[in-house]
């Protein structure tokens, strides 16, 4: 039961892994939804419990190699993601250092990945909503590069368009690498996570990932 997932006062609160995206089949393959895709990949790899509707989103419990994690996909649409996440954070009384947010990043090349703690929102409406609703930008982000269309006027149609078929050559191996390395992130080993993603991605594609950008 989700209510028993963790009780305040227990030694180690779980991590809350949140993927940012927009709900519904129309947005499922959008570049803006790569956060959802990462969470789905983690859920599949680690055989998470069934998804349930809660906290204005979908949540599932998972055991990542001994690390308890709550996976979450807000269903509020990107611009209101913070409302859903803040509900879950308050319910479980989680400190912000237990929150990890997976999101698309225009300022990283496709296939690149970085883990970052805090900082600005760089115009990302999902991150802006989280920072506002949580009262702080000091949460961990897994930035998944999707590249930039070249001009700011093209950003909205670009992120709300589906990945190109050719993108599968890097996207699928990257999502698989993120899922496989996720226990390191759950353990708080950010550098180990990035290095493991880079190694797995390189083995699968012959290209570099993880440390670029």
Q: What is the largest CA-CA distance in the chain?
A: 49
Q: Is 70 exceeded by the pLDDT of residue 9?
A: no
Mean pLDDT for the chain overall? 89
Topology, domain 11-205 = Rossmann fold (3.40.50)
Residue 11 has pLDDT above 80, yes or no: no
Map out the domains of the chain as residue ranges. Answer: 11-205
SS3 3: helix
Q: Of 44, 53, 52, 56, which Cα lies nearest the Cα of 83?
A: 56
CA 55 from centroid of its chain's CA atoms? 17
Q: Which of 32, 67, 103, 124 is catalytic?
A: 32
- pTM confidence score: 0.90
pLDDT in tens, 66-123: 999 999 999 998 889 999 999 999 998 999 999 999 999 999 999 999 999 988 877 7
151 is catalytic: no
Q: Could you give the CA distance from residue 192 to residue 184 in angstroms, rounded to a whole number?
A: 6
Give, in order, the Cα–Cα distances in Å from 189 to each of 111, 119, 178.
21, 19, 13
Give the pLDDT confidence of 169-210 residue by residue, as tens digits: 999 999 999 999 999 999 999 999 999 999 999 999 887 664
- Residue 20 CA to residue 13 CA, distance in Å, equals 22
Given a cut of 90, whether residue 211 has pLDDT beyond it is no
pLDDT band at 151 (very low <50, low <70, confident <90, very high): confident
Q: What is the pLDDT of residue 120?
A: 83
């Amino acid at each position: 039961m989700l209510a028993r997932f963790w009780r305040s006062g227990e030694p180690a609160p779980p991590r809350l892994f949140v993927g940012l995206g927009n709900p519904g089949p129309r947005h499922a393959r959008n570049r803006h939804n790569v956060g959802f895709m990462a969470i789905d990949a983690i859920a599949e790899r680690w055989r998470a419990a069934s998804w349930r509707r809660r906290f204005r989103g979908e949540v599932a419990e998972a055991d990542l190699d001994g690390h308890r994690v709550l996976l979450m996909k807000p269903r509020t649409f990107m611009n209101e993601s913070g409302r859903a996440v803040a509900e879950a954070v308050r319910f479980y009384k989680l400190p912000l250092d237990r929150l990890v947010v997976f999101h698309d990043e225009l300022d990283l090349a496709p296939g690149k990945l970085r883990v970052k703690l805090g900082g600005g929102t760089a115009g990302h409406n999902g991150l802006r909503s989280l920072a506002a609703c949580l009262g702080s930008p000091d949460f961990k982000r897994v930035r998944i590069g999707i590249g930039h269309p070249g001009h700011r006027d093209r950003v909205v149609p670009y992120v709300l368009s589906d990945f190109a078929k050719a993108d599968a050559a890097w996207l699928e191996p990257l999502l698989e690498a993120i899922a496989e390395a996720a226990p390191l992130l759950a353990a708080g080993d950010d550098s180990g996570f990035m290095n493991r993603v880079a190694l797995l991605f390189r083995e699968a594609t012959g290209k570099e990932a993880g440390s670029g950008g």
